[in-house]
Amino acid sequence: MGGDHGPPVILSAAVKAIQLHPNVHFVLCGDENVIQSGIQSLTDNERSRVTISHCSQVVEMGEAPTSALRNKKDSSIAVLSSLLKVARLMRA
């Protein structure tokens, strides 16, 4: 759950999208406690459209993404990459 401005910006956008679009479902990868805190304004029904994939490792700002993919298998970027691979296989 990275980016230049981190989880608050991503979670705020996800909450808004879930509230505006009733057919949207999100898989959020990152620290489960941070994600839970960021989506607490959602109703139970809205929260049911969020799947949280807890990630225990963090990629630091100065760290190369390719290095993180190889060495931090439980970071959000690595977990998300694995989920995308599975999704592509399911569509094939």
Name the 3-class secondary structure at 30.
strand
Cα–Cα–Cα angle for 74, 39, 48, nearest 5°? Answer: 85
The model's pLDDT over 9-35, given as tens digits with 9 standing for 90+, comes to: 999 999 999 999 999 999 999 999 999
User: What letter would DSSP give residue 38?
Assistant: H
CA distance 64 to 54: 21
Cα–Cα–Cα angle for 25, 14, 58, nearest 5°? Answer: 100
The model's pLDDT over 38-60, given as tens digits with 9 standing for 90+, comes to: 999 999 999 999 999 999 999 88
pLDDT value of position 51: 96
Whole-model pTM: value is 0.83
